[in-house]
Amino acid sequence: MKIAIVGSPNVGKSVMFNRLTGSYVTVSNYPGTTVEVSRGRAKIGGWEFEVFDTPGMYSLLPITEEERVARSLLFQEKPDVVIHIIDAKNIERMLPLTLQLIEAKLPVILVLNIIDEAEKIGMRISLEYLSRELKVPVAATVSTTGRGIDILRGRIEEYVRAGIRQ
């Protein structure tokens, strides 16, 4: 099974990738480009996953080569889980990509990363409301300290279990 990590640059994608995969990571260029794609393995809830970290993207309508590569990966690799990582304090600006991923019927989990900074500037975000409104699982994390990672793993597990039952 496959997990894709997507999101705009500087939201902690790579740190999250490292958190989920540990060692055994390979980095290769996407065919015909200089854009690098990291792949690793993760074991969550008894399942083996191949995890890949896509280049930074802002929208499904690409402008840069990185975004083109990220979209191609998403469309072609048929991931079982797509983890969309956003910077929690910039949720309003980053949510449009979540909407696009959901619209594309990709199996999205929304991750509000760097939640500590959002809290520090006085933001309170209702995960329940977001999850209900978007109809996807939502988790709040701080990838650099590891806060919320176990909850994210749990969400991934539930998601895959629900997918299998269907």
Partner 1 sequence: MSAQGFANSEQGDILEVSLEKIEGLLKGDYGVSKRTIGLLLLQGDDEITALAESREPDNMSEIKEIINYTGKHYVQPLSYIITLRRQEEASRITGIAVEHLPKANLAFREKLSRVMINPLTGVPILLFVLYYGIYKFVGEFGAGTLVDFIETGIFEKNINPWATQIIKPIIPWQAVRELFVGEYGMITLGVRYAVAIILPVVTTFFVAFAIIEDAGYLPRLALLIDRLFKKIGLTGRAVIPMVLGLGCDTMATMVTRTLPTKRERIIATILLALAVPCSAQLGVILSLLEGNPRGLTVWACAVSLVFLLVGFLSAQILPGDSPSFYMEIPPLRMPKLSNVFIKTYTRVKWYFTEIFPMFILASVLIWIGQLTGLFNLLVKALHSPMRWIGLPDQTAVAFLFGFFRRDYGAAGLYDMKKAALLNGNQLVVACIALTLFLPCIAQFLMNVKERGYKTGVAISVFVLFFSFSAGFLVNFILNILGVSL
Tokens describing residue 64: 């840069």
CA–CA dist 159, 1 (Å, integer): 12
Tell me whether residue 44 or residue 81 sits nearer to partner 1 (CB atom): 81
Q: How many Cα atoms within 13 Å fall on the side-chain side of residue 20?
A: 33
When asked if residue 134 is in the footprint of partner 1 (CB under 8 A), the reply is yes
Tell me whether residue 37 or residue 130 sits nearer to partner 1 (CB atom): 130
What is the size of the binding site for partner 1 (CB under 8 A)?
37
Region from 20-28, 40-48, 122-130, 147-155 binding partner 1, contact rule CB under 8 A: 122-130
Angle between helix 13-21 and helix 149-165 axes, rounded to 10 deg: 70
13 to 52, contacts with partner 1 by CB under 8 A? none
Closest approach of partner 1 to the CB of residue 61, in Å: 5
Residue with tokens 């919320």: 148
Distance separating the N- and C-terminal Cα atoms of the chain: 16
CA–CA dist 54, 73 (Å, integer): 7
List, in sequence order, every residue forming a beta bridge with 44; answer none if it has no partner.
47
When asked if residue 96 is in the footprint of partner 1 (CB under 8 A), the reply is yes
What is the contact surface with partner 1 in residues (CB under 8 A)? Answer: 10, 59-62, 68, 74-76, 78, 91-93, 95-96, 98-100, 102-106, 117, 120-126, 129-130, 133-135, 144
